[in-house]
């Protein structure tokens, strides 16, 4: 009998103590040992160019020396206090300078928490109950967010379908679902329900699907017409598309936004940011006990994440950082297109240079249902060959980072050529 590899042994151990053998995030057969720059190594010693980058936060690459320096300096001073600290105040100040909608900030530990509180804020502010989201939009793991995230059974809008067990049936009644990139349908839906809707939550770039020209502004205008709080989920796009996030890139300002990933520099940190009159609902002395929104978090705004986030954001402010990041993404997109075109494989590159994926279809992608209709088996086969050839990415996204080198691009292009040939 052949000896088991370290990852096979770890997988057995994990299955005994972890449901489904993992953390619920990624392929549970993969165990990453370390990351440096734009590379990661698994427990079997396999080396990859990393386009997962921790699902987005490691925009500078792994182990950036300047980030490590400030973290090592902070650690002996204290890791968390459950009290205010200066670094987190400075981080909040910088977010308010950078992000158009941000007049005040409240920190949390995860993007999912931030989205949950943003929806709750909208309800507290408006006194209404309903939340509208777009089919296929990801907003964390709350009961509201788990409605029509990835439905395999397509139903008529605006009916919501739960994506998880354990969600009360009553939650469905408070959720409205609309198709992304369809302002006409949204307008017709709000004519019927607009005065009941507290908030509309939207990813400005929905997973990888860009907004059609004018769509986000149409959503903004409809929110203004009906007194609805507009929430941009910028957990992924914040400080990635531009220093001011997707609201800077697209020129549309929401009432609230949620942030995560990059603002913690690789440590658990997220935030709700927005207009002061809405954020006032976190302050009992202003709104009173009946309208106050309670929020507690043991690690919210912890100083280690705050100093890591501050240093990350300082590096992103340096000349050329975003030009370089976009250039990296555009170079990768051209690699995928040229080799798949040469292999005569129908595909679309969908997304933004800083966040995109390859969808195997011959039709343009505007909604979740367009992605669902694509050739998922071909996509899985393509991703499998990429990983076998040293490219590490998620099944549905590819994140470039600033640490990519010429050697990383060369390895990636070889892997793309091999994968395109394999699925042709």
323 carries an active-site annotation? no
Q: Out of 233, 255, 357, 408, which one is annotated catalytic?
A: 233
350: preceding bond cis by omega (within 30 degrees)? no
The band of 152, judged by pLDDT with boundaries at 50, 70 and 90, is confident
d(CA 107, CA 254): 18
Instruction: Give φ, ψ of 5 to 5 degrees.
Output: -75, 165
The band of 243, judged by pLDDT with boundaries at 50, 70 and 90, is very high
3-state secondary structure of 22: coil
Alpha helix (H) ranges present in 174-266? 183-193, 215-226, 245-250
Per-residue pLDDT at 1: 54
% pLDDT > 70, the chain = 100
Is the pLDDT confidence value at 303 over 70?
yes
311 carries an active-site annotation? no
Please state, in angstroms and as integers, the Cα–Cα distance from residue 277 to each residue in 114, 229, 286, 295, 405, following that order: 18, 12, 10, 17, 46
Per-residue pLDDT at 141: 95
pTM: 0.97
261 carries an active-site annotation? yes
Q: Out of 48, 117, 125, 138, which one is annotated catalytic?
A: 138
- The mean per-residue pLDDT over the stretch 360-368 comes to 97
Q: Classify burial at 141, counting beta carbons within 10 Å of its beta carbon; exposed 0-12, middle 13-18, buried 19 or more.
A: middle
**What's 3's DSSP letter?**
P
Q: How many CB atoms lie within 10 A of CB 71?
A: 18
Q: Out of 130, 133, 261, 311, which one is annotated catalytic?
A: 261
- The mean per-residue pLDDT over the stretch 196-223 comes to 98
Per-residue pLDDT at 2: 73
Instruction: Enumerate the CATH 3.40.640.10 domain ranges in the chain, comma separated.
Output: 66-316
Is the pLDDT confidence value at 308 over 90?
yes
Q: Which of 217, 265, 255 is nearest to 233 (CA)?
A: 255
d(CA 352, CA 399): 10
Per-residue pLDDT at 6: 96
Whether the CA torsion 61, 65, 70, 73 is positive or negative: it is positive
The band of 419, judged by pLDDT with boundaries at 50, 70 and 90, is very high
206, β-bridge pairs: 209
The band of 217, judged by pLDDT with boundaries at 50, 70 and 90, is very high
Instruction: Give the rounded distance of the alpha carbon of 320 from its chain centre.
Output: 23
Determine the topology of domain 31-63+319-423 in CATH: 3.90.1150
Per-residue pLDDT at 179: 98
Helix (H) or strand (E) holding 350: strand 348-352
| Residues 202 and 134: beta-carbon distance below 8 Å | yes
- The mean per-residue pLDDT over the stretch 82-110 comes to 98
237-242: long-range pairs with CB below 8 Å, 24+: 237/203, 237/204, 237/205, 237/352, 237/355, 238/99, 238/262, 238/263, 239/59, 239/98, 239/263, 239/313, 239/316, 240/56, 240/59, 240/325, 240/354, 240/355, 241/205, 241/352, 241/354, 241/355, 242/322
Task: Indicate the CATH number of 66-316 among 1.10.287.130, 3.40.640.10, 3.30.160.100, 3.40.605.10.
Answer: 3.40.640.10
């Amino acid at each position: 009998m052949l000896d088991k590899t370290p990852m096979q042994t770890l997988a057995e151990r994990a299955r005994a103590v972890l449901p489904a053998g993992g953390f619920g995030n990624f392929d549970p057969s993969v165990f990453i040992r370390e990351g440096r720059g734009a590379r990661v190594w698994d427990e079997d010693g396999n080396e990859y160019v990393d386009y997962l980058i921790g699902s987005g936060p490691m925009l500078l690459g792994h182990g950036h020396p300047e980030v490590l320096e400030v973290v090592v300096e902070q650690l002996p001073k204290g890791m968390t206090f459950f009290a205010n600290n200066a670094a987190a105040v400075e981080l909040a100040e910088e977010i308010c300078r950078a992000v158009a909608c941000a007049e005040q900030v409240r920190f949390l530990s995860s993007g999912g928490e931030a989205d949950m509180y943003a929806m709750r804020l909208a309800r507290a502010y408006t006194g209404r109950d309903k939340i509208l989201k777009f089919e296929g939009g990801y907003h964390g793991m709350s009961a509201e967010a788990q409605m029509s995230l990835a439905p395999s059974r397509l139903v008529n809008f605006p009916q919501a379908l739960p994506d998880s067990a354990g969600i009360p049936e009553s939650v469905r009644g408070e959720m409205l679902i609309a198709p992304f990139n369809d302002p006409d349908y949204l307008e017709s839906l709000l004519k019927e329900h607009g005065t009941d809707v507290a908030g509309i939550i939207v990813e400005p770039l929905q997973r990888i699907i860009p907004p059609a020209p004018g769509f986000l502004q149409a959503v903004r205008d409809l929110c203004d017409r009906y007194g609805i709080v507009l929430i941009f989920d910028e957990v992924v796009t914040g400080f990635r598309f531009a220093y001011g996030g997707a609201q800077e890139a697209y020129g549309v300002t929401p009432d609230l936004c949620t942030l995560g990933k990059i603002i913690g520099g690789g440590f658990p940190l997220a935030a709700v940011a927005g207009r002061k009159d809405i954020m006032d609902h976190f302050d009992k002395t202003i709104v009173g006990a009946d309208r106050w929104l309670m929020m507690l978090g043991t690690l919210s705004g912890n100083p280690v994440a705050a100093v890591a986030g501050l240093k990350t954001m300082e590096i992103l402010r340096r000349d050329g950082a975003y030009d370089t990041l976009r250039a990296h993404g555009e170079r990768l997109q051209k690699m995928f297109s040229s080799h798949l075109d040469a292999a005569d494989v129908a595909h679309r590159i969908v997304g933004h240079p800083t966040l995109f994926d390859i969808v195997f279809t011959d039709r343009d992608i505007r909604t979740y249902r367009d992605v669902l209709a694509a050739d998922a088996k071909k996509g899985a086969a393509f991703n499998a060959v990429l990983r076998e050839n040293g490219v590490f990415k998620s099944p549905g996204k590819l994140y470039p980072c600033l640490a990519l080198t010429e050697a990383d691009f060369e390895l990636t292009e070889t892997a793309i050529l091999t994968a395109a040939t394999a699925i042709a």
